[in-house]
Amino acid sequence: MGIPFAIKDNIDLAGIPTTAGCEIFAYTPKKSSQVVQQLIDAGAIPVGKTNLDQFATGLNGTRSPYGACHNAFNYDYISGGSSSGSAVAVALGLASFSLGTDTAGSGRIPACFNNLVGVKPSIGLLSATGMLPACRSLDCMTIFAYNTDDANIALGAAEGFDERDGYSRQNPFDNQARHYGLRTGPLKVGVIPAHQLKFFGDKSYEKAYLQTLALLKEQGFAFQEIDYAPFDEIAQLLYEGPWVSERYIATQPLIDENPDVIFPVVREIISPGRQTASNIIV
């Protein structure tokens, strides 16, 4: 019997509309994305498409005209986005695993918030053919699963070179699924220096973070402090810099000709990319 899986609604499944959370944008693909087709060929069964922050823009799971995806454990909490529906579908037992996408955390934050494993492969390991990107140069498909064993099996079935995808690449031998779980020896974890930590007044998050570090140390992990400032600077580019232009280009001509159909917060984020994109095109 096949394994049921769910698909974020910016990834193509043949014969089923891809909406990216915007009904007027919807189109019905004749072919599934390469990743979806490989999973089907391996015996997995697609059970449906899942809700998302519209055009994969957001990290909270509330930016959809179809309604917010609530946390699987507490209805009053957010699920995380933009792959909100894909995470909640697995957390609630509606699918054994699911596909999401990730630009800035959309394949990992919903996993964290719903007690799942979220795998974001490096770009090119999974084909992006048949995936509507938010930022083409950054996006990749991701996998949500209950545990790392399941995630590794799904990743092994989903990976594969695709000559149609300019970022696609072969997986090096020493990184393939057969090596899963075989690494031995001490592990080193990068941590943010105390003076760069920001919890924005949330004592619960701060406590959880410190408890996690203490647990890792207890289990023998070594810590290496890293300067987080460059990472923070790059993160700002996602919503305040050139990568906003990629989001804008992905939604053209809809945002130019019919901006009112785009979710208000999403429109507010994407619209500033118009000027930068125009400069680049000119």
| Catalytic one of 8, 64, 86, 245 | 8
Active site residue 198: no
The CA distance from 215 to 152, in Å, is 24
Burial class (CB in 10 A: 0-12, 13-18, 19+), 66: middle
| Catalytic one of 32, 33, 64, 82 | 82
| Catalytic one of 79, 84, 96, 106 | 106
Residue 6 makes CB contacts below 8 A (sequence gap 6+) with: 46, 47, 48, 49, 50, 85, 86, 89, 90, 94, 95, 98, 99
The CA distance from 269 to 32, in Å, is 29
Centroid of chain to Cα 77: 19
Enumerate the active-site residues.
Answer: 8, 82, 106
